[in-house]
Amino acid sequence: MSEVLTIRGLTKRFGGLVAVNGVDLRVEEKETVGIIGPNGSGKTTLFNLITGLFQPTAGQIVFMDRDVTSARPEQRVAAGMVRTFQLVSVFNSLRVWENLVLCVTRFDAAHSSIWKFMTSPATGGTIRDDCYGVLRLVGLEDKAGTMTSELSYGDKRLLEIAIALSLKPKLLLLDEPLSGLSDVEVVDILNLLRRIKRDVTIIIIEHKVSMIVDFVDRLCVMNEGRFVSEGEPSEVLRDPAVQKCYWGKEGTRGC
Ligand SMILES: Nc1ncnc2c1ncn2[C@@H]1O[C@H](COP(=O)(O)OP(=O)(O)O)[C@@H](O)[C@H]1O
Ligand SMILES: [Mg+2]
């Protein structure tokens, strides 16, 4: 297996606060890695560094054998690094299918300028077929023409993942994709993630550990900006250092 992502010594300071502190991480192709940790431990900041929203104070990010430490976010997306956000991020004023077409055309070489976008109808041909294919995959095909603002939060989350998938990611970063969802919606999203797991490398941040423990191949636990434990999920959860930082007191159960 080849390495999709390699992070070395990644650090981010905000004034006196070290939000991410010398993190090393290697992710293999088709691997699913979970990142858990208490609120404020640096998980989202780590994603913001990997995807280029923040510049690191120190460290290096290599994606698909290319040093992307200084690359702009959109360059990383074009290279196949795609993320979703902790608070669902979709275009509410567009119809469901328009969200997908907009994002795909933005990163499609044939439609990369306003002129090309205006002169090459996105509703014809391959892009439309690709977009409907992704909507079918996530189960939103029947809602393709619905205004996005009318969707439930769970469907918006499905749409956000659909947008990410329509960009044909080599690495998909999901920041708490299950947060704010009902039990039924959680099952829908997890079923979808299980379907795509075979085809794409995934890093998933999740607060509810029990939700992803059977889904991920490897678990990393973050506390105060550092990885304090990493490995096979059930072993990591038995690690006293994890129990101490995550559940407050060593040996505490009932997560
Ligand atoms: N843009 C920012 N400016 C200043 N501090 C930030 C910023 N983003 C995050 N932080 C701080 O970094 C720490 C880690 O936050 P975050 O990465 O959001 O944690 P998590 O996702 O694990 O809950 C927190 O103390 C937070 O207040
Ligand atoms: Mg967060």
Can you give the residue ranges of every domain in the chain?
3-247
**pTM to 2 decimal places:** 0.90
What does the pLDDT look like over 84-127, one tens digit per residue? 998 888 999 999 999 998 887 776 655 555 555 555 554 456 77
pLDDT at 136 over 50: yes
For the segment 54-63, the average pLDDT, to the nearest whole number, is 98
Closest atom of ligand 1 to 39 CA is 23
Among 3-12, 91-100, 116-125, 158-167, the least confident range: 116-125
State the burial class of residue 15 (Cβ atoms within 10 Å of its Cβ: 0-12, 13-18, 19+). Answer: exposed
Confidence of residue 7 (pLDDT cuts 50, 70, 90): very high
What residue's CA is closest to ligand 1, atom 10? 19
Ligand 2 midpoint to CA 113 (Å): 34
- Give the residue with greater pLDDT, 248 vs 103: 103
Give 144 Cα–ligand 1 centroid separation in angstroms: 35
Q: How far is residue 240's CA from residue 229's CA, in Å, rounded to a whole number?
A: 10
List strand residue ranges (DSSP E) for the chain, in order.
3-14, 17-28, 32-36, 58-63, 66-67, 81-84, 171-175, 201-205, 218-223, 226-231
Query: Taking residues 34-51, what's their average pLDDT?
Result: 96
Q: Is 55 in the pocket of ligand 1 (CB under 6 A)?
A: no
Which tops the pLDDT comparison, 42 or 113?
42
Which residues, by Cβ under 5 Å, contact ligand 2, an ion?
Answer: 43-44, 86
Is the pLDDT confidence value at 67 over 50?
Answer: yes
So what's the pLDDT on residue 119? 56
Give residue 208 CA to ligand 2 midpoint distance, Å: 12
Distance 82 CA to ligand 2 centre (A): 17
Structure tokens given for 174: 């999901």
Distance 221 CA to ligand 2 centre (A): 13
**For ligand 1, is residue 42 a contact (CB within 6 Å)?**
yes
Q: Is the CB of 99 under 6 A from ligand 1?
A: no
Domain 3-247 has CATH 3.90.870.10: no
